[in-house]
Structure 1
Amino acid sequence: MAAPDNLPRPDVALEECERGFAQLGQLAEHCPESFRQSLGFVCACSSFFLGVLKRDPLLLPVLREMFEGPASGRNPAADLQQLVAEVADRDGLMRVLRQWRNREMAVITWQDISGRLDIDRVLTRISETAEAAVRVTLDWLFRDACRRWGVPRRKDGSVQNLVVLGMGKLGGGELNFSSDIDLVFAYLEDGELPGRNGTTYAEFYTRLAQSFVHVLDAVTEDGFVFRVDVRLRPFGESGPLVVSFDSCERYYQAQARDWERYAMVKVRAVGGDPEDGRAFERFFHPFVYRRYLDYRVFGELRSLKAKIMAELRRKERGDNIKLGPGGIREIEFIGQTFQLIRGGRNVELQDRRILVVLERVGQLRLLEHETASFLCDAYRFLRKVENRLQQYEDKQTHELPLSEDRRALLAYALGFESWAAFVHRLEYFRCRVHEIFTQLIAEPPQPASLELLLDCADRELAQALGGFEGSAEAIANALIEFRASPPVRRLGAGARTELQIVIGKLLAELAASRISDRACVFARVLKLLESIAGRGVYFSLLAENPSALSQLVRLAAASPWIVRLIAGAPILLDELLDSQTLYSPLTRESLGREADILVSSLASDDDEQLMLRLRQFKAAHQLRIAAADIMNFIPVMVVSDYLTDLAEVMIDRVLRLAWKSAAARHGIPPMAEETTADFPGFGVIAYGKLGGIELGYGSDLDLVFLYDGVASDAVTDGPRPISAAEFYARVVQRMVSLLTAEMLGGALYEVDLRLRPSGSSGLLVSSADAYENYQLQQAWTWERQALVRARFVAGDPKVGARFDAIRRTVLCRERDSRQVRFDVRTMREKMRENLADKRPGVFDLKQGVGGIADIEFIVQFGVLVSAAKHCEITRWTDTVRLLESLRAIKFLEPEQADRLRCAYCDYRSKVHRLALQEMPALASSSEFPEHRAAVQAVWKQIIEAPAL
């Protein structure tokens, strides 16, 4: 940022400017006044810049050209390559590198301080400068080493260069002005150089790396290129300077320390063989981004930060803007916390640039958007201060100056009118950053007691639980059984300690609650904790997040089904962290976007991981729906809407995967007409509860598959051609496999295909023509009843339109109402006889007299006998809107329709609640007397009445 014209310059700045102009002499004599002012301002703020300007005659023309016109098209990396190409020896290489580096850093200084580049671009330019120096230096030294000692080659005979991995800010493209560059040297394949001496590749690359570090790091009369830090390599300073891929793999899989994982967040190949570099990057990826949510990160970062603060206090460096409270490192820790915990699941967080990570943390609502934006602003401000401190003398410092003159000059260089104004702004950023950091990784509050119950003697447990009047003995017995279970006895010391904390907080939460049966809820949660004992990372989540444990207690008290859902997919515990999200199920569009991100983040050939993640996705959103349902945030009709939307999104994504797999092997069938559909000629039809938009928590999917617009014997256009009918059948088989395969979290959905033409003996997928012929000529009345609730849910819209036309044609045919009434009544009696619970005192909500099935049969009968004259009623497939349609055409009296609708909604609400309690859809015979009587009355009037 250039100093504003109206900004008063401190005396020291005026003196520096005047001294700078005097020392420039004739260099700037014929320059435009505005350019001279810019030079004077930068000279005042950076003695490094002034020194380079006086020593390097090529710098001023470069700056003037940049000042007077648009971007000049300079390519510093190409310039360096050309300069180095003319170098004959190592001394010449070192001299050229330093002169080039000083010139480029002076250019960046001028661009930065004069305001021609924002801080983001400045950091990128510094990183590009370092990377160019690394790449060009390594290439020159490698060629020189090959001439002297021989050429290392891979097993395939190709030349194998060393790989230079950039860590820290170099890896992230965020180098500050006088930063070290953190490097690790590695090579892919081991071997020996040809010749009698038998020099190993390890020896060759070690010599090369030593030369490389010396060329860049050594201080000569021209200065240095970049300070090189190689302590981040495996085993640190005690380890070999260069590591092979095999030794690297052994180290990071078995011996790497926690902080090394944080360092690897930014690892990037910056020199040497590009393909080998990418192989190393791929290797580090699973080490950094774990597939589970790793909440141990909080404790590890807390410990690392404590060590940093102890070191700062020891050296009295509280004004360190990098490591001090509210400094750059705390912002980086905040971003890395979310990356390390969630990066394995949220691929958006797998970025090396901290500003990008913070922006995405806000977009994902892991932090408030305002908080994430503030952290970005604070980071940019602190990095700008860091650069001004270092640009003054090209020294690696993060300490605020102590002298009045330097303070005044620093404030001036940053555009503040006084030191006090600058400090006020700095403290604003640092205080709030530290507050956010503390809130995020602060030690969670511990309960005053109850945390050592895992070690308490059995006879003392009930006494220790004396605050639980009436429940102490039951809770003590549950805890005794829990801690004696094999998974708990196998826990390591660290996981056991965290479990102690969780148990204590759980009991404290229960003690403060109004839950009536606290012992029952405690036992439910203990079962969950036992099921996740093998993955102690989830104990960390609950120990670190009291709000998550509180939500778990609330949900466990309301529904054992939810506890079982979480036990089957413990990753769902993460959903408990944000109550706003937990109780806000997503819309169909948002579900689709999340599903697309999930599928795109996984390897297309990793079926097991794909199916696992789809199950986790479904379970997470089922949890949101159930939580909102239990807490009465959404009505029962909306619960079914959400569950139906979720199922349709799953069907669509599974269809995409199945289609892609079949098309990759066989190509796709030729269509009679050109189409832009994703799944040309193929459609998925939903029957039953899915078709009626009435899914429950445990509902299966009644599906039928159709194809249209292609001849069944047409052949696909791929490498292994098959008939169109066989192609569509393979798509269906793959879909059913993905949906129904049993895994740790169970099946995605149970699928029922018996409603297809000819039932279980029929083809998996039918042509639309065959389906239409069957419905018109062969289908039974019950199959046409089922068609009332059928609808297109996925595939080619043209197939959907064809199905809608078939459905309308079938349902709108003229029928003998007496025959339909007889068939409907007969089918209902069979169902009631075979399916209903007839025990005394029990009302079967679904199959009992006056229950859900009676209402559905009345509606289906009404559609079948009325649609010929009122085809518009076939528009809907859900029972509630069909009731309204039958009322509109006067098939039902208004009072009849209202009573049936109220009964249907209340019954379904009860069924949902019972499902969440893992109880069958049964009520006491004393419940719903008015609803049952009303339904029976309508049944008698409509179904058992004389012919219409």
Structure 2
Amino acid sequence: MVARDQSALSGLARSGFSRLTEAKQWLAELSELLDVPADALAPELSVAADPDSALTHLIALERTHEGSVGGRWAEETQRHALIRLLGASSGLAEFFLRHPEHLDVLALTREDIPSASDMRADFFTALGVTNGFAASGGDDAACLLRERYRRLLARIAIVDLSAQDPKEVLERVTAHLSDAASAVLEAALAIARTRLTAPDVGRALFPRADVELTRFAVIGMGKAGARELNYVSDVDVIYVAEGDGELSQSRAIDVATRLAMHMQRIVDEPAVEPGLWEVDPNLRPEGKDGALVRSLDSHLAYYERWAKSWEFQALLKARPLAGDTVLGREYVDAVSPLVWDSAHRSDFVESVQAMRGRVTANIPADEVQRQIKLGPGGLRDVEFTVQLLQLVHGQADESVRHGGTLPALSALSDAGYIGRQEATDFADAYRYLRVLEHRLQLARLRRTHLMPREEENLRVLARSARQSGGASSLVRTWEKTKHDVRELHERLFFRPLLSAVAALPEDELTLSTDQAKARLTAIGFRDPRGALGHIAALTAGVSRRATIQRHLLPVMLRWFAEGADPDYGLLAFRRLSDALGSSHWFLRMLRDSSMVAERLTRVLSSSRYVGELLAAFPESSAWLEDDTELRPIGFPALRDEMRAIFSRHESLERAAKAVLRVRRREILRLALGAILDIDGVTELGPALADVTDATLQGMLRQIRATVPGGELLEFAIVGMGRFGGAELGFGSDTDVIYVFRPLTEDTAKAQDVAQKYVAELTRLTDDPVLPLDLDVDLRPEGKNGPVVRSLESYRAYYARWSLTWEAQALLRARGVAGDEGLIRDFIELADTVRYPAQISENDVREVKRIKARVENERLPRGADPLRHVKLGRGSLSDVEWFVQLIQLQYAHEVVSLRTTSTLTALEVAVESGLVKPDEAEQLREAWTFASRARSAMTLWLNRTTDVLPIERRQLEGIARILEYPPGSAGALEEDYFAITRRARRVFEQSFYGRPDVPHTRAF
């Protein structure tokens, strides 16, 4: 007996049941209800995606409506159709429970789905539509419409579920679903007309004549426009209206707006019969903020003046869906030329990139990898690729102007813009993903694009999609399809570019040079001819190197195109490849590590500064494989390397060049880390200072060993300004002052040796590739004072002549290189000047006066103070002067204020009650943002500048380095203005408005 039970349960499992014990009981119950042997039922139910669900729904139907199942069980075609429906869709099962009379669809010929006109006629007949008006405008009419639609949906689902390969009938199914939606909207519009002219309660909203004279068209967008709807898609629409005859335009718009609102409610508002799907008009001009209905002229005026490029991409699928077909066709014909000219627009590339960014931007992190539609390798990737190719090549070739994804893909292949095999593979992947999406939505008649997590649900989905191997096979196939879609995008879009310039074997592509240029232009290359030249140089020939490049470039071109300067990125990559192409590790690294390849394209298309340095150190590209290689190596390692260099070279000049080369290499390391967001501002400043310290220490040590007279003096270099504060950015000057102490009574001789040291330092650190810029303007008396002084001279000067600005300059003085005893004594001297026991009111006023003078006189002529990141309002200067005044006033008493770091001093000021925390945070944010922007400008432009550019392309490049998404030039500008405006407000209130009384803490 036990063995027989086990055998029976095993049979149920082979038939697809998962709840075996319950299924055995349910089968017995259904057997009794239908008077059919129980052992004959399980094999019949095996045709269902979910036999357990089909079984329970059959029982519920027969219990609730006796004979509804039994009356159809004898005929095999109807029996299997019913089992498939109930086993795939609990939504349709619930519909039949509400309306068993519609089970008669099981007897209809599967191949005979009504045409679009027949669907419309069926709905019109049921609703009693005459001359565009329904017999009733009440909820009963809306429910009847929904009921007739679901009946039609069941007929379509039977065809879909009965197919041996669902991919084979996909286009037919999506076309039927789109035609059904069109018919629903047409019928809903008839009900809406009746509602407006004869409401159940109160007087009519509009006279019937006004409604009749209103020409109203519903334009289908997205999948509805392309005749590729899902079972439960939002139906994207745009509304256009015109007055006919004597009806004014404004009156027609009023009527049409009410028609649109009622039509949407009729389709989807809550009622006894549930709503169908959302009618979404948000692709209209100005989106949710725009008028619901516009005239044709109003639409055209918007598209010609204000529309963004992505809006034309959306219009690519537009077609008349319901209402006045003549007006609908006029609309499509009018906007079509604008669609096909949109690739010429100046913002086309940015718009395309922004559209790509929006694909995944709003997906919750835990859903990204489960998204069939929006996730990487999903349906949107297919649709986006095809649409972009259409927009590029459809400008001149009308044969590729199709609304549907699959027809467009076929046309692009026929015209030679993509390979036949690639098109076939892409279409197959698209069909597979659509089938999965359909089965998930059909299950509950709900809009979803998420793959299930549960093993049982995956198993049901696999059976529903007719995929053998169960859940594990389904997941493997889906993951492979996602991977293939990503690869196919690169092969479809970028591989033909190679065919235009290189003889690829057995390649049927016919992309001309001009077409290749158009494609490159569309994705952001400004010099497509030059780009094609680089591609040709990299891929020409039959060498192993050229073969690998032909595999790499389709992927890398996409990443270059996503960068801010793809032209320079590709040029720099060619240079790098020429330098390293014969090195086996370089191409192997790029081939085997997509992370390295992507990082390389990112840094090269983001920074000319890095591109030029990397050309000098091509082997440094290996650092991109390991984050630890992109972090600062630290001062001790740098110091030891500098010492080793000098020990190996007898020639001072050669040693100095080697040291400068190490400096360039380490700054390249830091630049790569900054662009890849491995090092922030707080790490970058000290790291750059370490590199400069080690360079100057090494140079000075060797100069002192080489230049005669070293026994006559002690000598030291003192860092000042941002260098002294270890707050350097890329392109910062190196502010220093020089000090010596004679060890002989012949002070003049010691002075002469010190000057030779300075001259040698200046000569040996001169680097045309990456200037060191030793700047001595912060010395006593400024440009009028001697370049180097003795310690006693500094002491005498500060005691007798020192001005307030010089005490302020000393706040960031830091010993960098030279004799430690001299450095210690100089810093002790500096402390007496920069941390005075008391600062007079006049000196405080002088600081404020000089700050005001700097703002008025030191800004370059014509420079916008709002855009100057160093001296502008709310920028670096404001924050640093604010902090420095606090240090001048309170550092004698508050010892922890004695620091050369701006941010550290600001933090101490908060802890000491000298600055309010919220105000300090605004100042810190401005200082950090301005510092980052200043370095980003140098990285992007490969030159030092302190003025935020106005030109959009330059701003975009800087924004991308600062981790903004594509198309964020305006966002960067707005953020900078907002942050510095807040900081300036704090500065003006707390610096200029601050009491000029020493040791006052109330401000």
TM-score range, shorter chain: 0.3 to 0.5
Larger Rg: 2
TM-score normalised by length of structure 1: 0.45
